[in-house]
Amino acid sequence: MAPSARRDTAHSKSLELFSSLARLECVTAPMHDVSGETGHVLMILSKQKKLPDDLPAVTQLECVLKRREMKPEELAKTPVAIDLAHGGCCVYVMLDDQSDRYTQHDVLRKAVMLLAEETPDSMALAVWGVTEDMQQRWVRDALYVMWVNGAALPSRKKKPARSLKRLVLYGAENKNQGKNYADIAALAQANLLARQLTVMPANELTPAHYREKIRVLAKTQGWGIKEFDFCTLQKMGAGAFCAVAQGSHEADAAIVHLSYNPSQSNMMPRVALVGKGICFDTGGHNLKPARYMTGMHEDMNGSAVALSLLLAIQALALPVAVDVWLAIAQNHLSSRAYKQNDIITTLDGTHVEIVHTDAEGRLVLADALTLATRPDEKKVKTNNHAEQTQPDLVIDFATLTGSMITALGTRYSGVFSSDDALGHLAVEAGRLSGERVCLFPMDSDYEPALDSKVADIKQCTLEGDADHILAARFLKRYTYERPWLHLDLSAANCSDGLGAVASGQTGFGVAWGVAFLSRWLESRAECCGDATT
Protein backbone atom coordinates (compact mmCIF):
# COMPACT_ATOMS: atom_id res chain seq x y z
CA MET A 1 0.00 0.00 0.00
CA ALA A 2 1.10 3.58 -0.49
CA PRO A 3 2.96 5.20 2.40
CA SER A 4 0.84 7.35 4.65
CA ALA A 5 0.99 11.11 4.20
CA ARG A 6 3.09 13.20 6.57
CA ARG A 7 2.80 16.97 6.91
CA ASP A 8 5.29 19.74 7.59
CA THR A 9 3.51 22.44 9.57
CA ALA A 10 6.60 24.50 10.36
CA HIS A 11 5.42 27.41 8.19
CA SER A 12 1.84 28.36 7.46
CA LYS A 13 2.82 29.11 3.86
CA SER A 14 4.89 25.97 3.39
CA LEU A 15 3.34 23.25 1.28
CA GLU A 16 3.12 19.63 2.30
CA LEU A 17 6.45 17.86 2.48
CA PHE A 18 4.73 14.71 1.29
CA SER A 19 1.70 14.22 -0.91
CA SER A 20 -0.32 11.06 -0.51
CA LEU A 21 -0.14 8.47 -3.23
CA ALA A 22 -3.37 6.92 -4.44
CA ARG A 23 -4.70 4.07 -2.32
CA LEU A 24 -4.29 0.70 -4.02
CA GLU A 25 -7.12 -1.82 -4.04
CA CYS A 26 -6.66 -5.32 -5.45
CA VAL A 27 -9.51 -7.29 -7.04
CA THR A 28 -8.90 -10.98 -7.60
CA ALA A 29 -11.32 -11.31 -10.52
CA PRO A 30 -10.05 -10.26 -13.96
CA MET A 31 -11.82 -7.45 -15.77
CA HIS A 32 -13.97 -9.30 -18.30
CA ASP A 33 -16.09 -6.34 -19.29
CA VAL A 34 -15.60 -2.56 -19.26
CA SER A 35 -18.88 -1.60 -20.92
CA GLY A 36 -20.52 -0.77 -17.63
CA GLU A 37 -17.57 1.14 -16.20
CA THR A 38 -18.15 4.80 -15.42
CA GLY A 39 -14.54 5.41 -14.41
CA HIS A 40 -11.14 5.48 -16.06
CA VAL A 41 -9.54 2.20 -17.12
CA LEU A 42 -6.05 1.39 -18.40
CA MET A 43 -5.95 -1.86 -20.40
CA ILE A 44 -2.47 -3.27 -21.19
CA LEU A 45 -1.84 -5.90 -23.86
CA SER A 46 1.30 -7.42 -25.32
CA LYS A 47 2.29 -6.23 -28.79
CA GLN A 48 0.44 -8.30 -31.41
CA LYS A 49 -1.00 -7.98 -34.89
CA LYS A 50 -4.52 -9.07 -33.98
CA LEU A 51 -6.67 -8.03 -31.06
CA PRO A 52 -7.80 -10.93 -28.81
CA ASP A 53 -11.40 -11.92 -29.47
CA ASP A 54 -12.21 -11.87 -25.75
CA LEU A 55 -10.72 -8.42 -25.09
CA PRO A 56 -13.27 -6.21 -23.31
CA ALA A 57 -15.01 -3.80 -25.73
CA VAL A 58 -12.97 -5.24 -28.60
CA THR A 59 -15.58 -4.42 -31.27
CA GLN A 60 -15.66 -0.77 -30.26
CA LEU A 61 -11.86 -0.59 -30.21
CA GLU A 62 -11.66 -2.18 -33.69
CA CYS A 63 -14.03 0.47 -35.01
CA VAL A 64 -11.90 3.28 -33.57
CA LEU A 65 -8.71 1.80 -35.00
CA LYS A 66 -10.35 1.45 -38.40
CA ARG A 67 -11.51 5.07 -38.30
CA ARG A 68 -7.98 6.21 -37.49
CA GLU A 69 -6.44 3.89 -40.06
CA MET A 70 -4.33 2.26 -37.36
CA LYS A 71 -3.14 -1.31 -37.14
CA PRO A 72 -3.52 -3.02 -33.72
CA GLU A 73 0.27 -3.23 -33.19
CA GLU A 74 0.49 0.57 -33.47
CA LEU A 75 -0.97 0.68 -29.95
CA ALA A 76 2.62 -0.03 -28.86
CA LYS A 77 3.49 3.53 -29.94
CA THR A 78 0.18 5.37 -29.78
CA PRO A 79 -2.31 4.43 -27.04
CA VAL A 80 -5.98 4.87 -27.93
CA ALA A 81 -8.82 6.02 -25.69
CA ILE A 82 -12.45 5.03 -26.25
CA ASP A 83 -15.54 6.37 -24.50
CA LEU A 84 -17.58 3.72 -22.74
CA ALA A 85 -21.34 3.40 -22.85
CA HIS A 86 -21.90 4.50 -19.25
CA GLY A 87 -19.66 7.54 -19.46
CA GLY A 88 -16.32 5.98 -18.61
CA CYS A 89 -13.09 6.01 -20.57
CA CYS A 90 -10.80 3.08 -21.41
CA VAL A 91 -7.29 3.50 -22.78
CA TYR A 92 -5.71 0.59 -24.63
CA VAL A 93 -1.94 0.28 -24.91
CA MET A 94 0.39 -2.48 -26.06
CA LEU A 95 3.83 -3.11 -24.56
CA ASP A 96 6.65 -4.69 -26.52
CA ASP A 97 8.55 -7.08 -24.27
CA GLN A 98 11.59 -6.64 -26.52
CA SER A 99 11.78 -2.88 -26.06
CA ASP A 100 13.88 -1.17 -23.41
CA ARG A 101 12.59 0.03 -20.05
CA TYR A 102 12.58 3.70 -21.04
CA THR A 103 10.41 3.02 -24.10
CA GLN A 104 7.96 0.97 -22.06
CA HIS A 105 7.73 3.74 -19.45
CA ASP A 106 7.30 6.33 -22.19
CA VAL A 107 4.33 4.61 -23.81
CA LEU A 108 2.75 3.88 -20.42
CA ARG A 109 3.05 7.57 -19.52
CA LYS A 110 1.27 8.55 -22.74
CA ALA A 111 -1.51 6.08 -21.96
CA VAL A 112 -1.92 7.18 -18.33
CA MET A 113 -1.98 10.86 -19.27
CA LEU A 114 -4.91 10.26 -21.61
CA LEU A 115 -6.81 9.28 -18.47
CA ALA A 116 -5.19 11.82 -16.14
CA GLU A 117 -6.20 14.79 -18.30
CA GLU A 118 -9.62 14.64 -16.65
CA THR A 119 -8.06 14.51 -13.13
CA PRO A 120 -10.18 11.54 -12.04
CA ASP A 121 -10.43 10.45 -8.42
CA SER A 122 -9.75 6.84 -9.36
CA MET A 123 -8.31 4.66 -12.12
CA ALA A 124 -8.49 0.95 -12.82
CA LEU A 125 -5.70 -1.20 -14.25
CA ALA A 126 -5.92 -4.53 -16.07
CA VAL A 127 -3.35 -6.56 -18.02
CA TRP A 128 -4.82 -8.80 -20.70
CA GLY A 129 -3.66 -12.09 -22.15
CA VAL A 130 0.00 -12.30 -21.07
CA THR A 131 2.14 -14.70 -19.05
CA GLU A 132 2.17 -14.41 -15.27
CA ASP A 133 5.78 -13.17 -15.24
CA MET A 134 5.08 -10.55 -17.87
CA GLN A 135 1.93 -9.49 -16.07
CA GLN A 136 3.80 -8.87 -12.81
CA ARG A 137 6.49 -6.79 -14.52
CA TRP A 138 3.98 -4.71 -16.44
CA VAL A 139 1.70 -4.20 -13.45
CA ARG A 140 4.65 -2.91 -11.43
CA ASP A 141 5.69 -0.49 -14.17
CA ALA A 142 2.12 0.67 -14.75
CA LEU A 143 1.53 1.27 -11.04
CA TYR A 144 4.73 3.31 -10.83
CA VAL A 145 3.69 5.46 -13.78
CA MET A 146 0.17 5.92 -12.37
CA TRP A 147 1.47 6.81 -8.90
CA VAL A 148 4.12 9.33 -9.98
CA ASN A 149 1.70 11.10 -12.31
CA GLY A 150 -1.36 10.79 -10.12
CA ALA A 151 -0.08 13.03 -7.31
CA ALA A 152 -0.37 16.75 -8.00
CA LEU A 153 2.73 18.89 -7.54
CA PRO A 154 2.59 22.01 -5.34
CA SER A 155 0.73 24.87 -6.97
CA ARG A 156 -0.52 28.31 -5.95
CA LYS A 157 -3.42 28.26 -8.41
CA LYS A 158 -6.81 29.05 -6.91
CA LYS A 159 -7.99 25.69 -8.26
CA PRO A 160 -4.95 23.40 -8.11
CA ALA A 161 -5.00 20.02 -9.82
CA ARG A 162 -6.54 17.16 -7.84
CA SER A 163 -4.51 14.12 -6.91
CA LEU A 164 -5.55 10.60 -7.79
CA LYS A 165 -7.11 9.01 -4.70
CA ARG A 166 -7.68 5.37 -5.67
CA LEU A 167 -6.14 2.72 -7.90
CA VAL A 168 -7.93 -0.56 -8.58
CA LEU A 169 -5.87 -3.49 -9.85
CA TYR A 170 -7.89 -6.24 -11.52
CA GLY A 171 -6.66 -9.82 -11.70
CA ALA A 172 -4.54 -9.77 -8.55
CA GLU A 173 -3.75 -13.17 -7.06
CA ASN A 174 -5.26 -12.12 -3.75
CA LYS A 175 -6.66 -9.04 -2.09
CA ASN A 176 -3.48 -8.57 -0.05
CA GLN A 177 -1.46 -8.23 -3.24
CA GLY A 178 -0.96 -4.55 -2.44
CA LYS A 179 1.85 -5.36 -0.02
CA ASN A 180 3.83 -6.80 -2.94
CA TYR A 181 3.89 -3.34 -4.50
CA ALA A 182 5.05 -1.41 -1.43
CA ASP A 183 8.50 -1.03 -2.98
CA ILE A 184 7.00 0.55 -6.10
CA ALA A 185 4.99 2.94 -3.94
CA ALA A 186 8.15 3.85 -1.99
CA LEU A 187 10.04 4.61 -5.20
CA ALA A 188 7.16 6.72 -6.50
CA GLN A 189 6.97 8.59 -3.20
CA ALA A 190 10.69 9.35 -3.31
CA ASN A 191 10.45 10.61 -6.90
CA LEU A 192 7.51 12.77 -5.86
CA LEU A 193 9.48 14.30 -2.98
CA ALA A 194 12.32 15.28 -5.32
CA ARG A 195 9.90 16.92 -7.76
CA GLN A 196 7.85 18.52 -5.03
CA LEU A 197 10.87 20.24 -3.51
CA THR A 198 12.26 21.22 -6.91
CA VAL A 199 9.07 22.92 -8.10
CA MET A 200 8.76 25.13 -5.02
CA PRO A 201 9.42 28.84 -5.67
CA ALA A 202 12.61 30.35 -4.30
CA ASN A 203 10.79 32.74 -1.98
CA GLU A 204 9.22 29.73 -0.23
CA LEU A 205 12.16 27.34 -0.35
CA THR A 206 14.89 29.59 0.99
CA PRO A 207 17.91 27.85 2.53
CA ALA A 208 16.42 28.46 5.99
CA HIS A 209 13.05 26.95 5.07
CA TYR A 210 14.70 24.09 3.19
CA ARG A 211 16.83 23.24 6.21
CA GLU A 212 13.74 23.31 8.43
CA LYS A 213 11.95 20.89 6.12
CA ILE A 214 14.97 18.60 6.22
CA ARG A 215 14.95 18.68 10.04
CA VAL A 216 11.29 17.65 10.06
CA LEU A 217 12.00 14.81 7.64
CA ALA A 218 15.09 13.67 9.58
CA LYS A 219 13.11 13.55 12.82
CA THR A 220 10.27 11.65 11.17
CA GLN A 221 12.61 9.10 9.57
CA GLY A 222 15.00 8.75 12.50
CA TRP A 223 18.08 10.04 10.67
CA GLY A 224 21.03 11.66 12.37
CA ILE A 225 21.48 15.30 11.40
CA LYS A 226 24.28 17.83 11.80
CA GLU A 227 24.20 21.30 10.22
CA PHE A 228 27.41 23.14 9.39
CA ASP A 229 26.17 26.72 9.21
CA PHE A 230 27.92 29.64 7.52
CA CYS A 231 29.84 30.81 10.60
CA THR A 232 30.98 27.26 11.41
CA LEU A 233 32.14 26.70 7.83
CA GLN A 234 34.04 29.98 7.87
CA LYS A 235 35.92 28.90 10.97
CA MET A 236 36.60 25.49 9.43
CA GLY A 237 38.10 27.10 6.33
CA ALA A 238 35.43 26.09 3.81
CA GLY A 239 36.25 29.09 1.64
CA ALA A 240 34.69 27.75 -1.57
CA PHE A 241 31.23 27.25 -0.07
CA CYS A 242 31.41 30.52 1.86
CA ALA A 243 32.52 32.49 -1.22
CA VAL A 244 29.25 31.53 -2.93
CA ALA A 245 27.08 32.01 0.16
CA GLN A 246 28.52 35.36 1.24
CA GLY A 247 26.55 37.27 -1.39
CA SER A 248 23.29 36.60 0.45
CA HIS A 249 21.97 39.08 2.98
CA GLU A 250 20.67 36.22 5.13
CA ALA A 251 23.36 33.99 6.64
CA ASP A 252 21.15 30.92 6.28
CA ALA A 253 23.39 28.78 4.06
CA ALA A 254 24.72 25.49 5.41
CA ILE A 255 26.09 22.09 4.53
CA VAL A 256 23.63 19.63 6.07
CA HIS A 257 24.84 16.14 6.98
CA LEU A 258 22.27 13.36 7.33
CA SER A 259 23.22 9.87 8.46
CA TYR A 260 21.30 6.64 8.10
CA ASN A 261 22.68 3.65 9.99
CA PRO A 262 20.43 0.58 9.92
CA SER A 263 21.02 -2.26 12.34
CA GLN A 264 24.36 -4.00 11.76
CA SER A 265 25.46 -0.99 9.71
CA ASN A 266 29.05 -1.58 10.87
CA MET A 267 29.00 -4.69 8.66
CA MET A 268 27.51 -2.86 5.66
CA PRO A 269 29.18 -0.82 2.94
CA ARG A 270 28.89 2.94 3.43
CA VAL A 271 27.79 5.32 0.68
CA ALA A 272 28.06 9.11 0.63
CA LEU A 273 25.46 11.04 -1.39
CA VAL A 274 26.35 14.68 -2.08
CA GLY A 275 23.86 17.15 -3.53
CA LYS A 276 24.07 20.68 -4.91
CA GLY A 277 21.38 22.73 -3.20
CA ILE A 278 21.51 26.24 -4.72
CA CYS A 279 18.00 27.48 -3.91
CA PHE A 280 18.37 30.30 -6.42
CA ASP A 281 21.20 31.09 -8.80
CA THR A 282 21.45 34.64 -10.17
CA GLY A 283 24.90 33.97 -11.59
CA GLY A 284 26.37 36.51 -9.16
CA HIS A 285 28.43 39.35 -10.73
CA ASN A 286 28.34 37.38 -13.99
CA LEU A 287 24.61 37.94 -13.92
CA LYS A 288 22.45 35.57 -15.94
CA PRO A 289 20.23 37.05 -18.65
CA ALA A 290 16.50 36.63 -18.04
CA ARG A 291 16.23 33.68 -20.43
CA TYR A 292 18.70 31.67 -18.37
CA MET A 293 17.70 32.93 -14.92
CA THR A 294 14.17 31.62 -15.36
CA GLY A 295 13.91 28.29 -13.57
CA MET A 296 16.94 28.85 -11.33
CA HIS A 297 14.84 27.98 -8.28
CA GLU A 298 15.39 24.42 -9.55
CA ASP A 299 19.16 24.64 -9.12
CA MET A 300 18.77 22.79 -5.81
CA ASN A 301 17.53 19.70 -7.64
CA GLY A 302 20.70 17.70 -6.97
CA SER A 303 20.17 18.01 -3.22
CA ALA A 304 16.50 17.03 -3.60
CA VAL A 305 17.52 13.90 -5.52
CA ALA A 306 20.13 12.92 -2.91
CA LEU A 307 17.62 13.48 -0.08
CA SER A 308 14.88 11.54 -1.86
CA LEU A 309 17.25 8.69 -2.72
CA LEU A 310 18.00 8.34 1.00
CA LEU A 311 14.25 8.10 1.64
CA ALA A 312 13.97 5.32 -0.97
CA ILE A 313 17.01 3.45 0.38
CA GLN A 314 15.48 3.35 3.85
CA ALA A 315 12.00 2.36 2.63
CA LEU A 316 13.45 -0.42 0.48
CA ALA A 317 15.76 -1.58 3.29
CA LEU A 318 18.82 -1.68 1.04
CA PRO A 319 21.72 -3.11 3.09
CA VAL A 320 23.85 0.01 3.08
CA ALA A 321 24.73 2.79 5.53
CA VAL A 322 24.37 6.27 4.06
CA ASP A 323 25.74 9.74 4.70
CA VAL A 324 24.07 12.57 2.78
CA TRP A 325 25.78 15.95 2.40
CA LEU A 326 23.56 18.77 1.11
CA ALA A 327 25.27 22.03 0.11
CA ILE A 328 22.43 24.52 0.60
CA ALA A 329 22.92 28.18 -0.32
CA GLN A 330 21.96 30.89 -2.81
CA ASN A 331 24.19 32.59 -5.39
CA HIS A 332 23.24 36.23 -5.05
CA LEU A 333 24.58 39.48 -6.44
CA SER A 334 25.53 42.04 -3.78
CA SER A 335 28.44 44.16 -2.60
CA ARG A 336 29.59 41.15 -0.55
CA ALA A 337 29.37 38.65 -3.42
CA TYR A 338 32.52 36.99 -4.69
CA LYS A 339 34.02 38.29 -7.93
CA GLN A 340 36.05 37.29 -10.94
CA ASN A 341 39.78 37.03 -10.16
CA ASP A 342 39.17 36.48 -6.46
CA ILE A 343 41.33 33.72 -5.03
CA ILE A 344 39.55 31.55 -2.51
CA THR A 345 40.75 28.62 -0.41
CA THR A 346 38.79 25.39 -0.30
CA LEU A 347 38.39 23.28 2.82
CA ASP A 348 41.34 21.09 1.86
CA GLY A 349 43.65 24.11 1.45
CA THR A 350 43.57 24.37 -2.36
CA HIS A 351 43.78 27.94 -3.70
CA VAL A 352 41.27 28.49 -6.50
CA GLU A 353 41.20 31.38 -8.96
CA ILE A 354 37.63 32.52 -9.65
CA VAL A 355 37.01 32.87 -13.38
CA HIS A 356 33.21 33.00 -13.58
CA THR A 357 30.80 33.55 -10.69
CA ASP A 358 28.09 31.50 -12.39
CA ALA A 359 30.20 28.35 -11.96
CA GLU A 360 29.28 28.26 -8.28
CA GLY A 361 28.03 24.68 -8.12
CA ARG A 362 31.48 23.10 -8.35
CA LEU A 363 32.64 25.36 -5.50
CA VAL A 364 29.96 24.37 -2.99
CA LEU A 365 30.35 20.73 -4.02
CA ALA A 366 34.13 20.89 -3.53
CA ASP A 367 33.80 21.61 0.18
CA ALA A 368 30.87 19.20 0.59
CA LEU A 369 32.85 16.43 -1.11
CA THR A 370 35.80 17.17 1.15
CA LEU A 371 33.61 16.79 4.23
CA ALA A 372 32.20 13.56 2.82
CA THR A 373 35.49 11.91 1.92
CA ARG A 374 38.57 13.27 3.68
CA PRO A 375 40.22 10.88 6.14
CA ASP A 376 40.38 13.33 9.04
CA GLU A 377 36.59 13.61 9.09
CA LYS A 378 36.01 9.92 9.80
CA LYS A 379 35.43 10.53 13.51
CA VAL A 380 32.56 13.00 13.19
CA LYS A 381 29.68 11.86 15.42
CA THR A 382 26.04 12.61 14.68
CA ASN A 383 22.99 12.44 16.91
CA ASN A 384 22.77 9.01 18.55
CA HIS A 385 24.33 7.31 15.56
CA ALA A 386 27.52 5.46 14.79
CA GLU A 387 30.69 7.27 13.81
CA GLN A 388 31.08 8.33 10.22
CA THR A 389 33.82 6.54 8.29
CA GLN A 390 35.27 7.12 4.85
CA PRO A 391 32.70 5.96 2.29
CA ASP A 392 33.09 2.93 0.06
CA LEU A 393 31.35 4.89 -2.68
CA VAL A 394 30.59 8.57 -3.33
CA ILE A 395 27.87 9.84 -5.68
CA ASP A 396 27.23 13.52 -6.23
CA PHE A 397 24.14 14.92 -7.95
CA ALA A 398 24.00 18.40 -9.45
CA THR A 399 22.37 20.52 -12.12
CA LEU A 400 25.90 21.64 -12.80
CA THR A 401 26.67 22.76 -16.36
CA GLY A 402 24.89 24.20 -19.33
CA SER A 403 27.40 22.43 -21.55
CA MET A 404 25.93 19.07 -20.50
CA ILE A 405 22.54 20.21 -21.77
CA THR A 406 24.26 21.34 -24.97
CA ALA A 407 25.87 17.90 -25.27
CA LEU A 408 22.85 15.74 -24.44
CA GLY A 409 19.73 17.87 -24.40
CA THR A 410 17.35 17.07 -21.56
CA ARG A 411 16.49 13.43 -22.30
CA TYR A 412 19.68 11.94 -20.81
CA SER A 413 21.90 12.92 -17.90
CA GLY A 414 25.67 12.74 -18.04
CA VAL A 415 27.77 10.62 -15.71
CA PHE A 416 31.48 10.64 -14.88
CA SER A 417 33.21 7.83 -13.06
CA SER A 418 36.45 7.26 -11.19
CA ASP A 419 36.83 3.86 -12.88
CA ASP A 420 35.44 1.94 -15.83
CA ALA A 421 33.59 -0.68 -13.78
CA LEU A 422 31.51 1.95 -11.94
CA GLY A 423 30.84 3.73 -15.20
CA HIS A 424 29.51 0.58 -16.84
CA LEU A 425 27.30 -0.10 -13.80
CA ALA A 426 25.97 3.46 -14.05
CA VAL A 427 24.95 2.99 -17.68
CA GLU A 428 23.41 -0.41 -16.90
CA ALA A 429 21.40 1.17 -14.08
CA GLY A 430 20.08 3.68 -16.60
CA ARG A 431 18.79 0.87 -18.79
CA LEU A 432 17.28 -0.97 -15.82
CA SER A 433 15.53 2.06 -14.36
CA GLY A 434 14.44 3.83 -17.54
CA GLU A 435 16.48 6.89 -16.47
CA ARG A 436 19.17 6.92 -19.12
CA VAL A 437 22.72 8.19 -18.59
CA CYS A 438 25.61 8.73 -20.95
CA LEU A 439 29.16 8.05 -19.74
CA PHE A 440 31.61 10.86 -20.51
CA PRO A 441 35.41 10.86 -20.56
CA MET A 442 37.45 12.73 -18.00
CA ASP A 443 41.03 11.95 -19.02
CA SER A 444 43.79 13.82 -17.24
CA ASP A 445 44.91 15.69 -20.37
CA TYR A 446 41.79 17.88 -20.06
CA GLU A 447 43.03 19.35 -16.78
CA PRO A 448 45.82 21.65 -18.06
CA ALA A 449 42.99 23.94 -19.21
CA LEU A 450 42.47 24.68 -15.49
CA ASP A 451 46.09 25.68 -14.85
CA SER A 452 46.30 29.06 -13.13
CA LYS A 453 49.19 31.53 -13.02
CA VAL A 454 48.17 32.87 -9.61
CA ALA A 455 46.58 29.91 -7.76
CA ASP A 456 46.68 26.13 -7.57
CA ILE A 457 43.83 25.78 -10.06
CA LYS A 458 41.21 27.74 -11.98
CA GLN A 459 37.57 27.20 -11.16
CA CYS A 460 36.71 26.97 -14.91
CA THR A 461 37.63 28.63 -18.20
CA LEU A 462 36.04 31.65 -19.85
CA GLU A 463 35.84 29.84 -23.18
CA GLY A 464 33.60 27.14 -21.70
CA ASP A 465 34.83 24.39 -24.01
CA ALA A 466 34.05 20.95 -22.52
CA ASP A 467 33.00 22.66 -19.30
CA HIS A 468 31.07 19.58 -18.12
CA ILE A 469 34.31 17.57 -18.35
CA LEU A 470 36.43 20.27 -16.71
CA ALA A 471 33.88 20.51 -13.87
CA ALA A 472 34.21 16.76 -13.29
CA ARG A 473 38.02 17.02 -13.27
CA PHE A 474 37.73 19.87 -10.77
CA LEU A 475 35.44 17.88 -8.46
CA LYS A 476 37.59 14.77 -8.59
CA ARG A 477 40.33 16.65 -6.73
CA TYR A 478 38.09 16.63 -3.64
CA THR A 479 37.14 12.94 -3.56
CA TYR A 480 40.35 11.66 -1.92
CA GLU A 481 40.58 8.85 -4.46
CA ARG A 482 37.37 7.23 -3.22
CA PRO A 483 35.26 5.32 -5.77
CA TRP A 484 33.14 8.15 -7.16
CA LEU A 485 30.36 8.99 -9.61
CA HIS A 486 29.32 12.48 -10.66
CA LEU A 487 25.84 12.86 -12.17
CA ASP A 488 25.32 16.10 -14.10
CA LEU A 489 21.51 16.29 -14.15
CA SER A 490 20.79 17.66 -17.60
CA ALA A 491 17.52 15.67 -17.50
CA ALA A 492 16.28 17.29 -14.27
CA ASN A 493 13.76 19.25 -16.33
CA CYS A 494 12.37 18.02 -19.63
CA SER A 495 9.54 20.25 -20.79
CA ASP A 496 7.35 17.53 -22.31
CA GLY A 497 8.01 14.91 -19.63
CA LEU A 498 10.49 12.07 -19.69
CA GLY A 499 10.08 8.30 -19.42
CA ALA A 500 7.62 7.52 -16.66
CA VAL A 501 7.15 11.15 -15.55
CA ALA A 502 4.84 13.61 -17.30
CA SER A 503 5.80 16.81 -15.48
CA GLY A 504 8.68 19.03 -16.58
CA GLN A 505 10.39 18.34 -13.27
CA THR A 506 11.40 14.71 -13.71
CA GLY A 507 12.94 13.64 -10.38
CA PHE A 508 15.64 12.04 -12.53
CA GLY A 509 18.23 10.22 -10.45
CA VAL A 510 16.06 8.66 -7.76
CA ALA A 511 15.05 5.53 -9.70
CA TRP A 512 18.50 5.47 -11.31
CA GLY A 513 20.13 5.64 -7.88
CA VAL A 514 18.09 2.73 -6.51
CA ALA A 515 18.91 0.61 -9.57
CA PHE A 516 22.58 1.55 -9.43
CA LEU A 517 23.01 0.83 -5.71
CA SER A 518 21.17 -2.49 -6.07
CA ARG A 519 23.54 -3.57 -8.85
CA TRP A 520 26.57 -2.21 -6.99
CA LEU A 521 25.65 -4.23 -3.90
CA GLU A 522 25.18 -7.32 -6.06
CA SER A 523 28.56 -6.82 -7.71
CA ARG A 524 30.23 -6.46 -4.30
CA ALA A 525 28.62 -9.71 -3.21
CA GLU A 526 29.81 -11.46 -6.36
CA CYS A 527 33.36 -10.13 -6.11
CA CYS A 528 33.89 -10.00 -2.36
CA GLY A 529 31.38 -12.45 -0.90
CA ASP A 530 29.84 -9.62 1.13
CA ALA A 531 27.26 -11.40 3.28
CA THR A 532 25.37 -8.19 4.09
CA THR A 533 24.31 -7.75 0.46
> What distance in Å separates the CA atoms of residue 374 and residue 237, rounded to the nearest whole number?
14
Of 211, 362, 458, 473, catalytic = 362
Angle among Cα 95, 492, 458 to the nearest 5 degrees reads 140
For the beta sheet containing 437-439, the strands, ordered from the edge strand earlier in sequence to the opposite edge, are 224-229, 254-260, 321-331, 270-281, 393-398, 484-488, 413-417, 437-439
Of 215, 288, 482, 519, catalytic = 288
Task: Provide the b/e sequence for 92-120 (b: ≥16 CB within 10 Å).
Answer: bbbbeeeeebbbbbbbbbbbbebbbeeeb
> What distance in Å separates the CA atoms of residue 472 and residue 362, rounded to the nearest whole number?
8
Q: What is the DSSP string of 220-284?
A: HHT-EEEEEEHHHHHHHT-HHHHHHHTTSSS---EEEEEEE--TTGGGS-EEEEEEEEEEEE--T
Side chain identity at 213, as an amino acid letter?
K
| Catalytic annotation present for 362 | yes
> What distance in Å separates the CA atoms of residue 138 and residue 346, rounded to the nearest whole number?
49
| Catalytic annotation present for 288 | yes
**Number of alpha helices (DSSP H) and beta strands (DSSP E) in the chain:** 14, 17
Answer whether 38's CB lies under 8 Å from 87's CB: yes
Give me the active site residues, please: 288, 362
